[in-house]
Amino acid sequence: MTSRFAAPTTLADALAILAADRDARPVAGGTDLVVAARQGRTTLPESIVAIDRIAELGRHEVVDGSLVLGALASHDWLAESPDVRADWTALADASAIVGSPATRGTGTIGGNLMNASPAADTTAPLVVLDAIATLQAAGGTSRTVAVADLATAPGRTVAARGELLTSVTVPRPASGSGSAYIRLEFRRAMEIAVVGAAALVTLNRDGRIAAARVALTAVAPTIVRASPAEAALIGATADAAAFRIAAEAAAAAARPIDDVRARADYRRAMLVVVVARTLAAAAARARGVSIPIPASRWAHGQEV
User: Over 70: is that where the pLDDT of 281 sits?
Assistant: yes
Half-sphere exposure at residue 144, Cβ-oriented, CA atoms within 13 angstroms: 8
Distance CA 145, CA 133 (A): 5
In this prediction the pTM is 0.92
C-alpha to C-alpha distances, 215 to 47, 71, 102, 250, 275, nearest whole angstrom: 35, 22, 27, 9, 9
Indicate the SS3 state at residue 255. Answer: coil
> What is the length of the chain?
304
Which pLDDT band holds residue 191 (cuts at 50, 70, 90)?
Answer: low
* Omega before residue 173 within 30° of 0, cis: no
Q: What are the chain's domains?
A: 4-50 (3.30.43.10), 55-171 (3.30.465.10), 177-294 (3.30.390.50)
Q: Bridge-partner residues for 225, per DSSP?
A: 215
Is the pLDDT assigned to residue 190 strictly greater than 80? no
pLDDT in tens, 131-168: 999 999 999 899 999 999 999 999 999 999 999 999 99
Give the residue from 181, 189, 9, 223 showing the smallest Cα distance to 98. Answer: 189
Hey, how many other C-beta atoms are within 10 angstroms of the C-beta on 242? 21
pLDDT of 258 reads 77
Give the strand pairing for 47-50 and 24-27. Answer: parallel
> What whole-number distance in Å separates Cα of residue 13 and Cα of residue 231?
47
Tell whether the model's pLDDT for residue 39 goes beyond 60: no
What does the longest C-alpha to C-alpha distance in the chain come to?
63
φ/ψ bin of 176: left (φ > 0), alpha (ψ from -120 to 50), beta (otherwise):
left
